[in-house]
Amino acid sequence: MEKTQIRLNKFLAERLGLSRREADEIISAGRVKVDNHTATLGAKIDNNSKVCYNNKIVPFKTEYTYIAFHKPIGYVCSRHAQGKAPTIYDLLPKQYHSLKTVGRLDKDSSGLILLTNDGDFAYQMTHPKFRKSKVYEVELSKPLQPLHQQMISDFGVMLSDGPSKFTIIPSTGDDTQTSHQASSRSSTSTSNSQSPMPADRTRFTVVLTEGRNRQIRRTFAALGYQVTRLHRTKFGKFELNLLASGKCDIIKI
């Protein structure tokens, strides 16, 4: 059999559902062995190598699983409960408990979460350089001033971890039309067409290509608004559609 070389951290990321940084961390911690020797950063292996993580063999061949999950409010995305807040793994069937979330939603948010054991897929969905768009339904505690909407969409708002900028589409009261606007915003100009007046200025669709911790909530808070509802409907090409709250479904890549 012809030998196929692969970087150890890439191999571990793919097989264990980790990011490559996390794979490097477990290598640095001495928890990985190759052919009975403690592995080192930057190591390469081939399909004849015996790789062990925590003294358990990591097979070269594995079946990847990808699921979409409709996260309810009140659950955290970590494997362990935080205080009294339960974890989404309490709702997932046991056969999916080894899968890792692709990005997260905070406890007070709901909507689409992806889970997988494919580290490369997780990396491509979450690393900023790939700019995967995420679409959210957002409700605010008070009407958003047009100037503040323009500030966020056109210039960004400075946060402690850098400027935050995303697209804000006012709700027209027609969810289908608003969703279509979110999908075509980047490719279709509406400057010469009349858009329906928004039903109110507390409900919006937000399109985000970053994924910083609580970024949408922090951005609005910096301008004096509280987000009262945050619900993700789309992540990259994957959509929540009619998936019921607390339920999951296999997806195809």
pLDDT at 2: 58
49 and 4 Cβ atoms separated by less than 8 Å: no
Output the pLDDT for position 188.
38
Mean pLDDT of 111-138: 92
Predicted pLDDT at 81:
79
Q: What is the pLDDT of residue 192?
A: 40
6-57, what's its fold?
3.10.290
Q: Which fold has domain 133-235?
A: Pseudouridine synthase (3.30.2350)
What is the largest distance, in Å, between two alpha-carbon atoms of the chain?
Answer: 68
To the nearest 10 degrees (0 to 180), the angle between helices 20-28 and 119-126 is 120
Distance between CA atoms of residues 162 and 250, nearest Å: 36
Q: Angle between the 8-16 and 119-126 helix axes, to the nearest 10 degrees?
A: 90
pLDDT of residue 150: 95
Q: Give the other-Cβ count within 10 Å of 183's Cβ.
A: 16
Residue 75 has pLDDT above 70, yes or no: yes
Question: Is residue 32 a contact partner of residue 53, using CB atoms and an 8 Å limit?
Answer: yes
Q: Under CATH, which number does the domain 66-126+243-250 receive?
A: 3.30.70.580
Q: What is the pLDDT of residue 193?
A: 38
Rounded to whole angstroms, the Cα distance separating 111 from 115 reads 13
pLDDT digits (tens, 9 = 90+) for 191-231: 343 444 455 799 999 999 988 899 999 999 999 999 999 99
Contact 231, 137 (CB under 8 A): yes
Q: Is residue 190 pLDDT above 80, yes or no?
A: no
CA distance 128 to 126: 6
**pLDDT confidence of residue 185:** 52
pLDDT for 5:
87
Nearest CA to 216 among 147, 122, 144? 144
- Please write the tens of the pLDDT for every residue from 165-183: 999 999 876 555 555 555 5
User: What integer best gives the mean pLDDT of the chain?
Assistant: 88
Phi-psi region of 17 (alpha: psi -120 to 50; beta: other; left: phi over 0): left
Map out the domains of the chain as residue ranges.
6-57, 66-126+243-250, 133-235
